Amino acid sequence: MDSSILAKLERIADRHEELNAMLCDPEIASDKRRFLELSREHADTDAIVTSFREFRQVENNLEEARELLSDPDMRELAEADVEELQERIVELEARLQKQLLPKDPNDSKNVMLEIRAGTGGEEAALFAADLWRMYSRFAERQGWSVEPMNFSEASAGGLKEVVGLIKGRDVYAMLKFESGVHRVQRVPATESQGRIHTSAATVAIMPEAEDVDIDINPADLEWQVMRSSGAGGQHVNTTDSAVRVIHKPTGLAVRSDQEKSQTKNREIALRLLRSRMLDAEIQRVNAERAAHRKDQVGSGDRSEKVRTYNYPQDRVTDHRIGLTRHNLPAFMDGDVGDVVEALRAHDEAARLAEAKREP
């Protein structure tokens, strides 16, 4: 392993031991904010230190095994040990290099999932509803919760637009590469001639922003109230419960009419606005990185066609990494884990290659 990497690991290990002592200090334990800050730092380095300690132990074992090679009685056994330990060294080096990659500070966040029907009319709206169900089923498989926040239904039963909050462990880390244009090729239920149509829907994965992430000046907001127009019975259509908020400096606008209460709709709109502002900043940073990193999974551009769902050929293809898999019904039922992991692995490999190129 490179000496600079070893030196970095030594510093992390020393800091980890220092944190152990600090967390046992009664004075620090009484300061909740400081204790929480140090606890998070300790947790972030724990896995790295565990791997590094194992790496050092395996190194020592390998040195001892090599010394036994000169003993005729132990040579055969020592050769087997050396081979096994060398393989373990390689595995641990690879693991440590991955663990040392900079972490996305948003990876642990919940996400706002936004799906909008694109080209294709009612068929696009039906596909948007299918995608909403697909991600909801995947969330169930992961043990996450899904909270619908905004619906706009189409006349044929699909969804013009849907926004939901997905809560759970590392949701953004798992789903962040799902953003982009998703295209479907199939025969619509309304098509009498059996012709295949191509429709599309846009998916946006936005980390849920907290107050500390995005500071909004109330003076920068313009609020509008209006009658709700969606489903919900007579009440939502006869009261000014729907709201629209515009962030004047950026021009970003969000509407919420899901709840009967104007107050609740204001809360939802503000949460969505914060997440969109954070997402806009993430897209800007990703676009800058894309200028010199051609092998990344995506630049954050919402117009990028990322995936095609071909029903006649029973396949789904992710165009960014050239991955195709079959059994489309299972995929649409939420069995998307292998593709999600393949996208994460591709991004990780690209970042590892980038890190090796850096001086």
Counting other chains too, the contacts that 187-196 makes at CB distance below 8 Å and 24 or more residues apart are 187/311, 187/312, 188/122, 188/123, 188/126, 189/126, 190/122, 190/123, 190/156, 196/312
Q: Tell me the torsion sign for CA atoms 295, 299, 304, 307.
A: positive
The answer to whether 166 and 293 have CB atoms below 8 angstroms apart is: no
Alpha-carbon gap, residue 21 to 18, rounded angstroms: 5
Point out which residues pair with 326 in neighbouring strands: 315
Q: Per-residue pLDDT tens for 254-278?
A: 888 877 888 888 888 888 888 888 8
Rounded Cα distance, 255 and 257, in Å: 7
Q: Which two tokens stand for residue 184?
A: 């479907």
Higher per-residue confidence, 302 vs 22: 22
Q: Choose between 239 and 210: higher pLDDT.
A: 210
Percent with pLDDT over 90 in the chain: 52
Going by pLDDT thresholds of 50, 70 and 90, the confidence category of residue 15 is very high
**Average of per-residue pLDDT values in the chain:** 87
pLDDT the model gives residue 218: 87
Per the CB < 8 A criterion, the answer to whether 126 and 157 are in contact is yes
For residue range 88-105, list pLDDT tens digits in order.
999 999 899 888 888 888
Residue 256: in which H helix or E strand, if any?
Answer: strand 252-256
Alpha helices in the chain (DSSP H): 3-23, 26-29, 32-67, 75-99, 121-142, 171-175, 234-238, 262-290, 328-332, 337-357
d(CA 16, CA 288): 34
Topology (CATH) of 111-349: Alpha-Beta Plaits (3.30.70)
Q: How many CA atoms lie within 13 A of 301 on its CB side?
A: 14
Helix ranges (H only) for 245-323 are 262-290
In the chain, pLDDT over 70 holds for what percent of residues? 89
The rounded distance, in Å, linking the Cα atoms of 334 and 133 is 8
pLDDT at position 229 is 60
> In whole angstroms, how far apart are CA 128 and each of 104, 166, 309, 318?
28, 17, 12, 17
Whole-number Cα distances in Å, 235 to 257, 261, 301: 12, 10, 39
Is residue 250's pLDDT more than 70? yes
Q: Where are the domains of the chain?
A: 3-99, 111-349
Question: Residue 303 above 90 pLDDT?
Answer: no
The predicted pLDDT at position 288 comes to 65
Please tell me what DSSP assigns to residue 102.
P
In degrees to the nearest 10, what's the CA dihedral of 35, 41, 44, 47?
-90
Q: Which of 35-39, 97-101, 155-159, 234-238 has the lowest mean pLDDT?
A: 234-238
